[in-house]
A and B are shown apart, each in its own frame.
Chain A
Amino acid sequence: MKKKLLVLPVLILALVLFGSPGVWAQESGIIQATATVLSSLTIIGNHDLQFGTVTPGINKAVDKSSVGFAGEWLINGVAGAEISLDFTLPDSLILVDSTVGMRVNFSSTDASYSDGTGNQATPTGVINPNGPSAHDLGPAGDMTVWIGGTVYPSISQTGGDYTADVILTVAYTGS
């Protein structure tokens, strides 16, 4: 009788414990992947590069420090972040509604920038617009870029209004 009393609970326990193998043997752990995305870069073309009236046969330069004539961009992003600056420069200005061109050139010192510690007359640094470069945004996350250039009208340059796009592309470098 005592044997029976002992065997029965043993069998019940065995069924409970071994009846559904595999279920008890699983364990899960959950973690989070986390990331904080910082603010995007913004860039505004604030001022066109204006050569004004050009006389055929006479080259005309606009200096990057020339307020009201030099091209100007305003950039904003994460304070202190390094950004790349990449200019896409035209080799000619094109007469509106035609294919007539007028040569334009940008020298290795024709662009400059301020990170808030300089201004157009005394910029933070000089940029060669003919290749990519990298600079840090200022303490407020701002940067202003200026560009000058020189046009070379021919003696027989057709009269009229000439234009071309000057593009500045900026991107975070991640540094």
Chain B
Amino acid sequence: MRAGLYIVFVFLIIISGHAMSRAQSITINNDLTFGDMFPGVPKEVPKYTAGSAAEFHVSGTAGSELSIEFTLPTYMHMNGFNMQLVFPEDACAMDSSATPDQSSPGYDDIDPWHPITYRLGFNGLTIWLGGMVIPKIVQIPGDYTATIVLTVTYTGN
């Protein structure tokens, strides 16, 4: 009887720890917003610009290592028309400190085109992404959109 309870107890501990590891989640704090654009005039949104740069917050087990991967579009679209969208190789930044600072992030100039490995802090991890749009001189007016996907995975380390 005691042995059985012991096994259950150990297992609950394992489950408990496991359940904590599973608690990772991504919160979308801000879309990547370029606002109004003139045809023929490229526009950049720096990753440091609060309210315009994309912002994700990842929460989970503090200290856990994550693999972070973007799926990035190369065009924005509207009714069959497209507009070139560029993400430079330093367009991403992140901060896992207790007080994330978008203007001076702890880990800066990251290439969003390749998987990134980083550890969650006690307050999780905040990720920012900037980009640039290059409208043509005769770009058709209207509202253009594109989807950006962020996927995070525990590495187990």
Is B117 an interface residue, CB under 8 A from the partner? no
B7 touches A33 (CB 8 A): no
Residue of A21, A24, A30, A39 with most partner-chain B CB within 10 A:
A30
A17 nearest CB neighbor, chain B only: B18
- Per the CB 8 Å criterion, the residue count for chain B at the interface is 59
* A36-B143, A38-B37, A172-B39 as given contacts; A2 in contact with B1, CB under 8 Å: yes
Considering only residues 119-175 of chain A, those with a C-beta below 8 Å from chain B are 171-174
Chain A contact surface mostly? mixed
Is B92 an interface residue, CB under 8 A from the partner? no
Is A15 an interface residue, CB under 8 A from the partner? no
Considering only residues 9-44 of chain A, those with a C-beta below 8 Å from chain B are 10, 13-14, 17, 21-22, 24-41
B151 touches A27 (CB 8 A): yes
B22 touches A25 (CB 8 A): yes
- For the A-B complex, the count of residue pairs with Cβ-Cβ distances under 8 Å equals 151
A32 touches B41 (CB 8 A): no
B83 touches A174 (CB 8 A): no
B39 touches A27 (CB 8 A): no
B28 touches A31 (CB 8 A): yes
**Complex formed: what's the CA distance from A78 to B36 in Å?**
11
Considering only residues 1-57 of chain B, those with a C-beta below 8 Å from chain A are 1, 3-5, 7-8, 11, 15, 18, 21-22, 24-28, 30-41, 43, 54, 56
In the bound complex, residues from chain B placing their C-beta under 8 Å from that of A41 are: 39
A35 touches B148 (CB 8 A): no
Is B62 an interface residue, CB under 8 A from the partner? no
With contacts A32-B146, A35-B83, A40-B141 known, what are 11 further pairs, Cβ within 8 A? A3-B1, A10-B11, A26-B153, A29-B56, A31-B148, A33-B32, A34-B33, A35-B35, A37-B141, A37-B143, A81-B38
What are 16 sample pairs from A and B whose C-beta atoms fall under 8 A apart? A2-B4, A3-B3, A13-B15, A28-B150, A29-B56, A32-B145, A32-B147, A33-B32, A35-B133, A36-B36, A37-B78, A37-B142, A38-B37, A38-B141, A40-B40, A171-B41
